Structures are given as C-alpha cells and as structure tokens.
Structure 1
C-alpha cells in the first residue's frame, strides 16, 4: 500500500486530528515533523517557544509510538525533506492541517503546494480552529464557526503500521537551532498531558471567577484558563475545548444553585473568547500582509522607533511602574493576561511612539503562546492603524491603580520599589527627595525617572491620530476595511460623508478591551 505522509506543524496531538485519521484509512502512515532552522531564526521566534514545542513533540512522539509508529523528525527545509522521502519510499498522499502563520510559513506552504502539484501528489489540508480558507465574505462566519465547533471529535487511529528502514532522529535543542539564551523560569510546560490538566482544572476549579478576575495581573495567572499556548501549538484542539466547556455548562444545571454560582457566566465568557480567537486569525488568513503593513493606508509611515525607548520598554525600565512590572512578569513567565498585553502595546505605540512592528516583534518572542493571526491583528488594533477601531490610549497609572491598588504586583516584580509606601508606588517620581532617600528608592538612580510625561504623551498621540481620521477619504477607506474584516454582528453603520468617526468601535474591541459583558455577546 502506498505511503501516506502526515505533516505535523502546529497540531501536535493525535486526538481530534483528522489528517492522521484520514491518512491511516488509506495506507501506512509516516508521521513527519520537520524542524525548520530558518523559521526559528526569524525575528518572531525564541527559545522559550521552541522549548514548549520540544516538550509537545516529545509527548506526541510517545503517543504515536503507542500506536505503533513513532514520530519521524527531520531538520532542514520541508520541500527537500519531502523530496527525499518521495525518492526513497514513494509518497502517495500528503496530509496536514491548514496553518495561518507568519509570512514565512505562508511562502513555505506555497512552495510545498507547488512541489506536490509537480509530483502529482495530492495534498489534503483540513481546517484548523474555526478559520475558513478562501473566505471572501464574513457574512455567516459566526454560524460557520458554531457548526465547526459542533463537529464530532476524531478518535485517533487504533494502530499505525510500523515503518521499516526509517531511522529516528534526536530533536535539536534551542542552542542547536542557534536561538539566543532565553531564561523563562515560570514558562508553562508543553505537551498534551499538561494541556489536559489545565483544561480540567479550569473547568472544575479555577474557572468559577474567570469573568471577574481575568483583567488584573494579580488574579489572572490563576483565574485564566492558560490554554493559549496549547491552542497555539495544537496539543489541544479548539473543538474539544469548546465542546467540553459547553458540556460542563450543561452539567451545572444539575447542581444546587450555590454550587453552580458564578460558573455559567464565567464559562459563557470563556467560550466567547474562543470565538474571538478564531475571528482575529481569520483576518490574517484573509490578508497575510497584516503582519507587516498597516491596514489603513493613512497610518502608514506614522511612527519612527527610537531605539533607546524601545530598549527601555523591552527591558522593563521605562520608569512607569505598572508597565515595567508587566513586562518583567511577561519575561519571567512567557505569558500575561489580555488587558496587560493591550496596555503594553498601547504604551509603546502612543506614549513612546514606537512602530508597532518593532514592539510587536519583541512581544512575539516573549509570548510562548504566540499566535500570528491574533498577535498582529492586536498590534494593529491597539496602535490605531486599523482605521475601524476606536483609538484606545491606556493610562498606565490608572490601570495600575485599578488592577493593583495596593501595589502588590509592583512589589513582586519591581524590588526597587519594595520599600516604597503603597501611596507612592504607582507614581514614585512624586515622592520628595527626603522620602526617596528614606525608602532607598532615588528616582533616576535606584529606579528610572519616567521616560515620558504620561499625560502629555497621551495627549499628543491622541491629537495626531484624530487628526488623521479627519482627513478627506479616511472614512471611505475605513468602510472598505470594515467590509473585509469586521464582525457582521457589530452592526456598525458606515462612516458616511463628512462625519468624523469619534466613537467607532468594531470587532469586539469594546468587549475585549474594557471587560464589558453586552447581553448580545458575553465577551469579557
């Protein structure tokens, strides 16, 4: 029987893996993962991401070995690896999930498609998440997402025939791939088992207060599902997470009211987040240049990065405590909650006037759960370059006071401020010199002075961005962007001739940024 190659990419599991199931029905399966050094050396790759991926691959290899055929790992360029396998063994079919990755993976997949056509080898790709390839119109997308999430989960094959004469290879380390040292002491563990433990813990213990506790970094590390890296690397499927969440939601109806209290709203909010996860990836699927080019042409060339400001922001030494604490926590763990991601991007874009591509690349490397479709859509959204979202400029001092009123989070991540009284901790530059001396926190020496005046920088950014939106033709271009990428449930009217779009909000920004819970969409 002819050889079927299952090419694993960001779908590192055997459960609910349709390419594996379909390939196994047609012949012996070669389960292949190609480690691509060129991909990992791109500026959005990092050792912390590879280390998570490596653990997931080890788990996947054990699962495949249990079926009878371990994972076949090769290092190099995918087309060359496929050509070698075809020349030696003969490939009758290539199977994989679709990938909505960065521009490099997009170009690579086009090369693979051309190779498969030239060799007369059918390449069957199956949808990932709720993303629809080739979609031209977003009408009905939410309904299609629901239909996909309701599809039966695929059980793994009962067994795979062992392949003779294909030698196993050792998975490379991050050092082997030339990745810079990247200590991340609290990085999440990769692999399906770790993902399953997180899902079970969230649905049965941690998730009860999700909708109330996800915004503050004090509570979010425990209250959020923490499933994002497992969805990004495919150790769990979106379908199984949605279905198990909804099964848990139904089971709550059988519990006494006091036992179920808080759970329904929390789980509804979580499912809505999963919906928006796919909504944002769909944008990059439709328009891959979102990674490098502003959506609205009027915002192109708007910012020019100051390297010193970028370095201070990246290293958590801007002199604005809540920004610095969030950045240091992210560096230490590879994760931080959504609101703080938005604040970090907003501060870089608006207060420091850093180009979103530069700040976006730093954050991409920090995030173990880096998902290009979500990440680059959010970079543009938070920096005000989409043209269809309201301009949101976060006040980092207010954010800190709202979400860390006693300065506990600051005290943990900024030891320089540990002895500063809570009343001054969010704005230590307001202390008089005597108080600074007494606290052992001299501004400009022990802890940096603010890199910018927060209020002045915000005002200047607001004036620049709203000035752009008043230019002739801005609204017409924004309407075209909304038609292409916007949620059809947003109900937004067009800008209209001559009207300044002061309150235009699209794509769930009101819900995702502010933590509100509109009755029509339980997004928090």
Structure 2
C-alpha cells in the first residue's frame, strides 16, 4: 500500500520518524507542496522562500541517495492530495506534527477533514519535544528530555518508492534584498553545526549577547532547525557528546547552548497550547493598550529612529536575515515601550525579516518582550546603554550606520548631544528615550493592578509557565527538579 510522505518543516532524511514509519508500511511517495496562499500571508518573505527552495532542492538529493524521488507540486495541499489519491489509489498520508502559524493550522484542519471524507488514514508523528494536546505543564520538561534522549531514527535503506512527475515552481513571492542571508539545505546545516561544536562555540556563553561577537560565536543553526534541515534531537545529542569531551569555559558554553535548545521547545509549546497567541494578548488586560503610529513604525523598520544602536541592529537584520537573541529582544522592546507600538504590526515586520522565522518561538517571544503575557518581568531596555554595553568600541554601530563616521566616540550612541549634530545626514531621535520609558512604565504597570488581573495571570502561569528549576534542564540532565511556580512570580525570562 503506497503512503504519501508529506514534508513540511522537516526537510531531511536523518532522524525522520515519519519517513521511517512510511517506509515500513510499503512504497513511499515523498511529496513537498509549495502553497501560493501561504506565500501571500503577511508574516512570510522572499528570503524565507529562497532558503526553503534551497532546502527542498537539497532534500531531493538526500532522498535520491536512499532510492526515493521527491515529488514537488504547486497548489492547495488538499487539491494535490486528492489528485494523487485518485491517480495512485493512495489511502495513507504520513507527516510530522507541525506548530506553525494560524494559516498552517487552518490548512491542517482542512487536510484532516479531507482525509476523513476520503477514507485516508493520516498519521502524524512527533519530531520534537513539543507535545500535542498537553493537559498541563507539569512533567513537560521530563517528557521533553526523555524524547531527546531516545535514539535517533534510522534512515531507511533501499526504500520502495513511487515516482510522480513534479511541477515547475515559479517565484511565489517577491524576492527581497538580503545579501548576507544564510543558505538553505542540510549540507549547509551540517557545516554550521560542525563549525560551532569544533571551534566557534567555545566562547558562546560570553559572546552571544553582542551582535558583533554573536555573529560567529552563536550556533547559527536557527534557520536549519526552523525548516527541519536538522532535527532538534540530533543537535542536542551532538552537543551533549561534545560537552563530554570538553571542560572549563567550553563545557559552560555548551551547557548554555543546551539550555537554549530546551527553551526553544518550551516556547514552541506555548503556541501549540494556545494558537491565538499570534493575534491576541496572552493576558486580556493588555488588549487595546497600544496603537500603530505609522511614522514611528516605518522609522523603526528602516533603521532611521535616530537611536544609533537600534538602527544598526535593524539595518543588520535587513541585510543578513539574522540577529542575536538579546538584540531581537531589544528591538522588539524599544518598538513596544519607547515607540508604544502594538506588537502585532511590529511582530509581522520582524517575522518577515527573520530567515529563521519560527512561529512557535516568534509570537510568544514577541508578546514577552512587549509585556503582554501577564507573567513575565517587564524589561524596558535602555537602547543607549545597550549600545555602550554590547558595542563598546562602536565597531558594529559605525559599520551599519555610516552616517555617524565622524561622530566622536563619546557621542556615538547619543549623537544629538554632539555640537555638530546638525551637520549629520542622520535624524534626531524620534522620541525622548528617558521620557518614553517613564511613560511606558507607568502605563504597563498601571494595568497590572487589582485582583482581576492577578487571577487571570495565575491562570496564564498555570498553563504556560516553565516548571523547571531556574538553573536549567538539559538533555544530559537525568534528574531535573520539578517545581510549580508561585502565581506571583514573574521571572520566567528567556
């Protein structure tokens, strides 16, 4: 009996439970569908389409080495599946579970309806520590760690395949200019993983916060994990193996890396449990709190806010498709607090900018950095201080904001204080940094008063907050301590 193996965000053959399952049932028809409706959504971009196209081409090569031919189609998944069902008599569909955006969630429900209506058995398998239909966070960390300790799934040898002609794939979205974007595909992913574990990760713990040092010290695996060129399990196990070989700062850096992998699954679980996170404040008291000042938003998007370090980060992101975590937090927080912009609009812009856009991480983080969860610490970054702290010599700022080339070092992060500021081809700050922070703090803390707020916050914590020991849970920690948080606690920051 032929099984359609539907690839989504799992573009590999290594540690691929759905592939192993389908191959064990009989002939396999591997399928990837480019969906025009998806590429019309407001949270996707040309840089993501280019990365995906490269990864699908690489997947085709991977499959050919085990005797399978990838069928690539363009159109609605339900229409493609129905055509293959009628022409090849397929009665089984196999795929991995996916925690995607609202559009893919709706599409998957449509596929489920199609499968039931046509008598097709759809088997969805887990490929990460994210758990479907979770009844609560108690015990989640233990279950997640147990999944990551399991042996990786073996690649089938000499699998039986069904060959079906592919479509030509047009450009489904306007290309965008991202000259320093990472390239897609498993070979590029393995190169990044090998380089990180062999050398680049040595200073990860100390260097990941700065965009200058983080560019090389960070793993740079995020787009490959987002599109499934690597499995989270193989990355965690490779990191754990390397961790056993090293000591000192090396070991501490890899321990921090394992913690980040755990947090990755933790945040994806939030969106899995609450799909409305993409469009609604996690705590309802924050709905309607902010608006959309278009002039401020466009200045932020273009890197023309008059705040040098913020502008440098936004321009760097536009050119590379990547930004280290701390700076992602800062640019989102500045947009939400200093510019008082609603997270839904600014979150869409950042989603399009990130080559590694992973909805399950992006939207919970967007809300957390905007202070709308009701349970996280309110963190209002000082963008001037961040510039001095993370770019003390001004190398990063001057590279990406060349208009400031002649500004003396002591004025670099506050060029409006320089006596020759009027001569610069660079705008003044669009808000007063200190005054905007005071206004935001007053507004955001004003919402957090009263028993009604606390009662809803306690429910949010019960459903979404980490139960782990704050010291961290790692793939090689076999005895994680479990702890239910006090509903009044707010420090669940990533």
TM range (shorter): over 0.9
Q: Does 1:159 align with 2:141?
A: no
* Residue in structure 1 matched with residue 210 of structure 2 by the alignment: 216
Distance in 1 between residues matched to 2:208 and 2:260, nearest whole Å: 12
1:484-516 deviation digits (Å, cap 9, x = unpaired)? 101112653223xxxxxxxx4243x0xx3xxxx
The answer to whether the Cα contact below 8 Å between 1:284 and 1:290 also exists between their aligned partners in 2 is yes
- Establish whether residue 333 from structure 1 lines up as the match of residue 320 from structure 2: yes
Conservation of the 8 A alpha-carbon contact between 1:487 and 1:506? no
Indicate the residue corresponding to 1:345 in structure 2. 332
**SS of the residue aligned with 1:33?**
strand
Distance 1:307 1:460 in 2: 19
Q: State how far apart, in whole Å, the 2-side matches of 1:371 and 1:129 are.
A: 14
- Is the 1:492–1:506 Cα contact (8 Å) retained in structure 2? no
Alignment of 1:71-220 (within 5 A): 71-164=70-163, 166-172=164-170, 176-177=171-172, 179-220=173-214
1:31-60 Cα shifts (integer Å, max 9, x gaps)? 000100100110001000010001100000
Aligned position for 1:29: 28
Q: Distance in 2 between matches of 1:351 and 1:283?
A: 27
Given the alignment, which residue of 490, 493, 496 partners 2:486? 493
Of 237, 240, 243, the residue aligned with 1:246 is: 240
How far apart in 2 are the matches of 1:233 and 1:250?
Answer: 28
Q: How does 1:402-413 map to 2 (within 5 A)?
A: 402-413=389-400
Report the Cα offset of residue 163 of structure 1.
Answer: 2.7
For 2:418 and 2:396, how far apart are their aligned partners in 1?
20
Deviations 1:158-185 (A, max 9, x none): 1233435x2133333xxx21x2331101
- 1:324-473 aligned at under 5 Å gives the runs 324-432=311-419, 435-436=420-421, 441-442=423-424, 446-473=425-452
- Runs (4+) of structure 1 moved beyond 4 Å? none
Could you tell me how far apart the structure 1 residues matched to 2:306 and 2:487 are? 41
Unaligned runs of 5+ in 2: 471-483
Q: What is the distance in 2 between the residues matched to 1:488 and 1:26?
A: 39
In 1, Cα distance between equivalents of 2:403 and 2:300: 17
* Cα deviation 1:282-332 (Å, max 9, x = unaligned): 000000000000011110011111011110000000000000000000000
Q: Distance in 2 between matches of 1:106 and 1:12?
A: 19
Check the 8 A contact 2:35/2:76 in 1, yes or no. yes
Find the aligned partners of 1:482 and 1:161 in 2 and give their Cα distance. 48
Corresponding position: 1:228 with 2:227? no
Corresponding position: 1:298 with 2:306? no
State the alpha-carbon separation in 2 of the partners of residues 15 and 139 from structure 1. 31
- Residue 119 of structure 1 and its aligned partner are, at CA, apart by 1.6
CA shift for structure 1 position 150: 0.7
What is the RMSD of the two structures over their aligned residues, measured on CA atoms?
1.2
Q: CA deviation at 1:472?
A: 4.0
Secondary structure, aligned partner of 2:65: helix
User: What's the TM-score once normalised by structure 1's chain length?
Assistant: 0.90
Name the CA distance, whole Å, in 2 between partners of 1:488 and 1:128.
22
Name the counterpart of 2:457: 478
What's the offset of the Cα at 1:272? Answer: 0.4
The answer to whether the 8 Å contact 2:3/2:22 transfers is yes
Task: Mark the CA change 1:313 to 1:139 in structure 2 (over 3 Å): closer, same or farther.
Answer: same
Output the TM-score relative to the length of structure 2.
0.95
Unaligned runs of 5+ in 1: 253-259, 496-503, 513-524
Distance 2:154 2:451 in 1: 56
1: CA distance between counterparts of 2:115 and 2:174? 35
